[in-house]
Structure 1
C-alpha cells in the first residue's frame, strides 16, 4: 500500500478543491491510499484556543502523518508570491523530521491557488519546494506529456497543479485544473510505491 499525504491550507476552498482532486488521482492507482490533512490558521491565540480537531474538513496534520507517508503533496494559497503563513508555520515545526531524515527519499509535489492569472503561482510553488529540498524529498512536477499542461487557459504549471480563483470561477476548478491535480496524485502514488523499498538507499 502506497500512502500519500495530501497536506494543505485553504482559506476559501480553492486549495481544498485541488487537494481533493490530488487525492482522487492517488485513489486511481491500485494499492494507493490518499490521506487528507490540513493545518490550523495562524493567530496570536492559535495554540491556546484552537480546537484539536477542525469543525469541518480534513483533520489537522501531525508529524507522525509525515513520518508514515510514502509520498507528500503540499498545497497552499498564494500570499504575495509565497506560501501562506499557516503552512509555513507548520513546516517550521518539522525540525525533528529533518534531524532523523523522515522525509528523505520520499517523492513530494506542490499545488496552489491564486485570485488572478499572474498572481504569483510559480513563485509560490517554488517557495514550497525549498523546505522539501532541505528535508531531502524528491520533487515531482508535471511533464508536458500531459496535454492539459500545454492548452490550459486557467491554472497549471510544470512545477505543480494550480487554480485561478477569478471572480467568475471562484473555487470551482476547470477541467484542465482537475486533470492536472489528479495527474500529480497519480505520479506521487506510483513514485511513492516504487521507491518505498529503496528509501534507505536514498537517505
Structure 2
C-alpha cells in the first residue's frame, strides 16, 4: 500500500474541491491510500504553524502533494506558515526522494498562478523531493482538460466561484499520474544522503 498525502490550505473551498479531485484520481489506482491535511487558522499560533503529528505522519508518506490558492501572486500565508515550519524535516532530509506535486486555484485564468506552482516546486526541491508535473500538451486543441496548458502542476480558476469540469479533470489526472508513478519502478529507492568528502 502506497500513501499519498495532500497538504493544502483552502479559503473559499475551491482548493479543497481541487484536492478532492486529486484524491479521486489517485484512488483510480490499486493499493493507494490518500490522506488529506487541510491547514486551518487554528494550526497557526503566534504566526507559526504547529502540528507535530502532521509532520510525523508525512515522514511515512510516499508522496506529498501541496496545494494553495494563489493570493496576491503567491501561496496563501497559511500555507507559507506550514512550509516555513517544515524546516526540521528539511534539515533531516526526511522527505528526500518522495514524489511531490502541486495544485493551485485563482480567481482569474492568469493571476500569477505559475508563481504559486513555482513556489511549491522550490519547496519540494529544498526537501530533495522528485517533482511530478503534468504530462500532457492538452489545452491547446482540447479544452476539456488542462485548458490553461500549465505543465508545472494543476491549476484552475473560479470566475463564477466554482471550478470548471476541465479544471477538476486536470487535478484528477495529476492525482492519477502520481499514483501510477508510485506503483511503478520509477520512484527512487530510499538511499542515504551522500557524504561530502
Q: TM-score range by the shorter chain?
A: 0.7 to 0.9
* Contact 1:25/1:185 (8 A) holds in 2: yes
Larger strand fraction of residues: 2
Q: In structure 2, do the counterparts of structure 1 residues 197 and 136 end up closer, same or farther at CA, with 3 Å as the change threshold?
A: closer
Which sections of structure 2, spanning at least 5 residues, go unmatched?
A: none
2:45 corresponds to which of 41, 47, 54: 47
More divergent stretch after superposition (175-184 vs 103-112):
175-184
- Residue equivalent to 1:124: 116
Aligned residues: 188
- Residue equivalent to 1:200: 191
Residue 141 of structure 1 pairs with residue 139 of structure 2: no
* Contact 1:42/1:85 (8 A) holds in 2: no
3-state SS of paired residue (2:95): coil
- TM (norm. structure 2) is 0.85
1:157 corresponds to which of 150, 160, 173: 150
Q: In structure 2, do the counterparts of structure 1 residues 94 and 189 end up closer, same or farther at CA, with 3 Å as the change threshold?
A: same
- Residue equivalent to 1:68: 60
Shift of the alpha carbon at 1:113? 0.5
Shift of the alpha carbon at 1:41? 2.4
Alignment root-mean-square deviation, CA: 2.7
- Residue equivalent to 1:107: 99
Which sections of structure 1, spanning at least 5 residues, go unmatched?
A: 54-59
Equivalents in 2 of 1:117, 1:84: separation in Å? Answer: 18
Equivalents in 1 of 2:94, 2:134: separation in Å? Answer: 24
- TM (norm. structure 1) is 0.82
Larger helix fraction of residues: 1
2:180 corresponds to which of 185, 190, 195: 190
3-state SS of paired residue (1:151): coil
